[in-house]
């Protein structure tokens, strides 16, 4: 997933440069999207020729006299804030001083302005304005500006998505030795985005970045050796690179080794060891480890399930700015797991995460607007957030955007556009989207009517499940004993374990949605979707269960979906 990372470093004896947003793509573990600023501002200023204890009065005087370098440095101090900087953190002041320097043509300050507009630091988020400043910096040869411009093209931020243009700018920065750009260029070769797919070339660029100490590249290189992509498969070499990635500090060491223990690249799988290392790393303040520890408690993976403990760790990571944790904390508020249910507070945390372009939070915010939980129902706003998540490649959001186009909820009804998004989700294996695509071909909605093609997509969806029937699809009473049942989050976390099985899944209903055609559905615990054949009173019955814990008998069909007994034409709920 895209992660914004940055640091201040010395480029010359007289100026600091801002290394702004970069794309750090990790398969197993997302990096924290918190902006990292060098802990010792005084040390940085010393390197640049200033006193070990910064003379802010002198720095400010030079800035006020129009010295672009001083203006940029003063802006960075305001960005960092705190005792080490000698000034309170103030993104507005940081923006003001960097704008003055940027207007004088200082590339590093132009890069900072792009970063500020992209991440809404001291100014409203504006991708087009961010693009303008990144381009100014890039065209001066600023490597980070080039990398950030590539990032904008790759993600369609402020400009139509163009992978070839992204590769062009990544390459310019990578050839200057910019490690993040080298990683991004490697990823382009690995995925074939903007260049012909070439695993060997991907490894070449990952290695260049990894040898500079880039943690993302080291992990990508570890993954390449683990899977034999572009290099002979070598578990020992894979483990070496994972361990190098883990060696960037005490907290990071424990966190990355925990991932190694959990996923087993080159080392025996050991959930207990992974959990122990996550705990050690989390106690030292590592946000990623805190979020993973929260996940462990939320799912009961390696520890007894404890939602309150999960919330504690999610909050610690979220308050450090980790977008995934902010989305998780928001979902905890929405579901009432481990904390009193509070939809408004859920929205608050979703918004913090979407400000960092987090796809999961975008999708959850879309569901909130769709269902009116914590916000006034607004189909147009729901479609907006589904689109943002869908453009990140999130299959569930692509499917929901397709539904919006098919039903005309929040967007003009457009069957062709609906099919486009269903296809994207279906090709990722989303079973609901595959069914929708089958429906489209069966009815000739957005495509030429084609029964064989419809049957193909129906079979693709059916291949993820076995025929199963349940006598009582959904109940809120009469099944107090959870023994033998499966939690909704367990289905979400381990879809491959339950796919095709007839199960009883339980969880709290967070959403009830009147779906397209003959299918309505509920969402359990914010993630697990359970589909129902529509009956005359089905949707109203479903809606009345919001906030209740329910048990659903049905078939897990892969991903995060459960299909209830398809013979059901009218759902009733005991105890309602």
DSSP string computed for 16-76? EEEE-------SS-PPP-S----S-HHHHHHHTTS-SS--HHHHHHHHHTT-HHHHHHHHH
In this predicted structure, which of 184-188, 316-320, 506-510 has the lowest mean pLDDT?
A: 506-510
Question: Same domain, yes or no, for 151 and 18?
Answer: yes
Question: Is 300 part of any domain?
Answer: no
pLDDT of residue 113: 94
Query: First and final CA of the chain: distance in angstroms?
Result: 42
Question: Same domain, yes or no, for 455 and 483?
Answer: no
pLDDT of residue 48: 37
Question: Same domain, yes or no, for 401 and 498?
Answer: no
How far apart CA 277 and CA 251 sit, in angstroms, is 9
Question: Is 285 part of any domain?
Answer: no
Question: Is 87 part of any domain?
Answer: yes
Q: If residue 204 lies in a helix (H) or strand (E), which one and from where to where?
A: helix 199-210
Question: Is 435 part of any domain?
Answer: yes
- Name the β-bridge partners of 8: 18
Contact 492, 486 (CB under 8 A): no
Question: Same domain, yes or no, for 403 and 490?
Answer: no
Question: Same domain, yes or no, for 93 and 56?
Answer: yes
pLDDT of residue 29: 29
Parent domain of 453: 359-463
Q: What domain count does the chain have?
A: 3
| Angle in degrees, 0-180, between the axes of helices 323-335 and 287-299, rounded to the nearest 10 | 30
What is the CA angle 333-339-342, rounded to 5?
40
Q: Are strands 502-513 and 486-487 parallel, antiparallel or unpaired?
A: parallel
Question: Same domain, yes or no, for 459 and 480?
Answer: no
Domain CATH code at residue 373: 1.25.40.10
In this predicted structure, which of 76-85, 91-100, 560-569 has the lowest mean pLDDT?
A: 560-569
Question: Same domain, yes or no, for 143 and 75?
Answer: yes
Question: Same domain, yes or no, for 489 and 558?
Answer: yes
Residue 509 has pLDDT above 60, yes or no: yes
Q: How far is CA 556 from CA 349, 463, 509, 530, in A?
A: 30, 12, 17, 9
Residue 396 has pLDDT above 50, yes or no: yes
Q: Work out the mean pLDDT of the chain and round it to a whole number.
A: 76
pLDDT of residue 55: 76
* Other residues' Cβ atoms within 10 Å of the Cβ of residue 234: 15
Question: Is 334 part of any domain?
Answer: no
* Other residues' Cβ atoms within 10 Å of the Cβ of residue 570: 12
The domain boundary, picked from 415, 439, 463, lies at 463
The domain boundary, picked from 433, 463, 493, lies at 463
The domain boundary, picked from 161, 179, 195, lies at 161
Residue 394 CB-density burial (10 A; 0-12 exposed, 13-18 middle, 19+ buried): buried
Residues making up the chain, counted from first to last: 576
| Angle in degrees, 0-180, between the axes of helices 91-103 and 68-80, rounded to the nearest 10 | 160
Question: Same domain, yes or no, for 44 and 130?
Answer: yes
Over the stretch 130-168, which tens digit does the pLDDT of each residue have? 999 999 999 999 999 999 999 899 888 888 889 999 999
What is the secondary structure of 342-353 as a DSSP string?
-HHHHHHHHHHH
Question: Same domain, yes or no, for 527 and 450?
Answer: no
Question: Is 368 part of any domain?
Answer: yes
Over the stretch 229-243, which tens digit does the pLDDT of each residue have? 899 988 888 888 877
Question: Same domain, yes or no, for 407 and 531?
Answer: no
Question: Same domain, yes or no, for 157 and 31?
Answer: yes
Mean local confidence (pLDDT), 49-59: 61
Over the stretch 277-313, which tens digit does the pLDDT of each residue have? 777 777 878 888 888 888 888 887 778 888 999 999 9
Handedness of CA 56, 58, 64, 70 (dihedral sign): negative
Domain CATH code at residue 558: 2.40.50.140
Most confident listed range (339-348, 518-527, 536-545): 339-348
Question: Is 540 part of any domain?
Answer: yes
How far apart CA 55 and CA 35 sit, in angstroms, is 25
In this predicted structure, which of 67-71, 433-437, 528-532 has the lowest mean pLDDT?
A: 528-532
Question: Is 104 part of any domain?
Answer: yes
In this predicted structure, which of 156-170, 183-197, 452-466 has the lowest mean pLDDT?
A: 452-466
How far apart CA 201 and CA 195 sit, in angstroms, is 10
């Amino acid at each position: 997933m895209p992660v914004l990372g940055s640091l201040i470093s010395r480029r010359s004896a007289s100026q600091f440069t801002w290394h702004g947003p970069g794309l750090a793509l990790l398969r197993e573990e997302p990096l924290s999207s918190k902006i990292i600023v060098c802990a010792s501002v005084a040390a940085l200023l010393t390197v640049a020729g200033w006193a070990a204890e910064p003379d802010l009065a002198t720095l400010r005087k030079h800035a006020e006299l129009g010295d672009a370098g001083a203006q940029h440095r003063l802006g960075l101090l305001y960005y960092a804030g705190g005792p080490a900087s000698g000034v309170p953190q103030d993104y507005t002041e940081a923006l003001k001083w960097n704008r003055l320097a940027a207007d004088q043509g200082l590339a590093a300050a132009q890069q900072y302005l792009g970063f500020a507009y992209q991440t809404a630091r001291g100014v409203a988020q504006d991708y087009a304005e961010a693009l303008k400043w990144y381009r100014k910096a890039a065209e001066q040869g600023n490597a980070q500006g080039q990398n950030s411009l590539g990032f904008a093209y790759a993600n369609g931020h402020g400009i139509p998505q163009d992978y070839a243009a992204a590769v062009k700018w990544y390459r310019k920065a990578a050839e200057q030795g910019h490690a993040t750009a080298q990683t991004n260029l490697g990823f382009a070769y690995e995925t074939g985005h903007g260049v012909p797919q070439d695993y060997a070339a991907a490894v070449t660029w990952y290695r260049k970045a990894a040898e500079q100490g880039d943690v993302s590249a080291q992990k990508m290189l570890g993954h390449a050796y683990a899977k034999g992509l572009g290099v002979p498969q070598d578990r020992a070499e894979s483990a070496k690179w994972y361990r190098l990635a883990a060696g960037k500090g005490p907290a990071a060491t424990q966190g990355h080794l925990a991932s190694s223990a959990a996923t087993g690249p080159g080392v025996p799988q050991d959930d207990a060891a992974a959990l122990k290392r996550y705990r050690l790393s989390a106690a030292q303040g590592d946000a990623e480890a805190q979020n993973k520890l929260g996940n462990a408690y939320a799912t009961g993976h390696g520890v007894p399930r404890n939602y309150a403990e999960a919330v504690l760790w999610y909050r610690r990571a979220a308050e450090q700015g980790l977008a995934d944790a902010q989305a998780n904390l928001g979902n905890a508020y929405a579901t009432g797991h481990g904390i009193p249910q509070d939809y408004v507070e859920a929205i608050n945390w979703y918004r913090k995460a979407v400000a960092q372009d987090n796809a999961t939070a975008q999708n959850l915010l879309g569901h909130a607007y769709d269902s009116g939980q914590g916000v006034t129902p607004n189909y147009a706003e729901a479609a907006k957030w589904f689109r943002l998540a869908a453009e990140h490649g999130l299959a569930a959001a692509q499917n929901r955007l397709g539904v919006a186009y098919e039903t005309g909820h929040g967007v003009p009804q457009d069957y062709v556009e609906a099919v486009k998004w269903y296809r994207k989700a279906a090709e990722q294996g989303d079973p609901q989207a595959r069914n929708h695509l089958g429906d489209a071909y069966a009815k000739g909605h957005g495509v030429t009517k084609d029964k064989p093609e419809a049957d193909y997509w129906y079979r693709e969806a059916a291949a993820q499940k076995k025929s199963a029937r349940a006598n009582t699809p959904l109940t809120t009473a009469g099944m107090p004993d959870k023994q033998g049942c499966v939690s909704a989050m367990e289905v979400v976390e381990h879809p491959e374990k339950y796919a095709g099985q007839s199960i009883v899944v339980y969880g709290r209903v967070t959403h009830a949605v009147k779906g397209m055609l003959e299918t309505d559905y509920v969402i359990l615990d914010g993630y697990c979707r359970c589909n129902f054949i529509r009956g005359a009173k089905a949707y109203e019955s479903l809606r009345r269960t919001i906030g209740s814990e329910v048990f659903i008998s049905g078939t897990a069909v892969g991903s995060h979906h459960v299909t209830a007994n398809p013979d059901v034409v009218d759902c009733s709920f005991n105890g309602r």
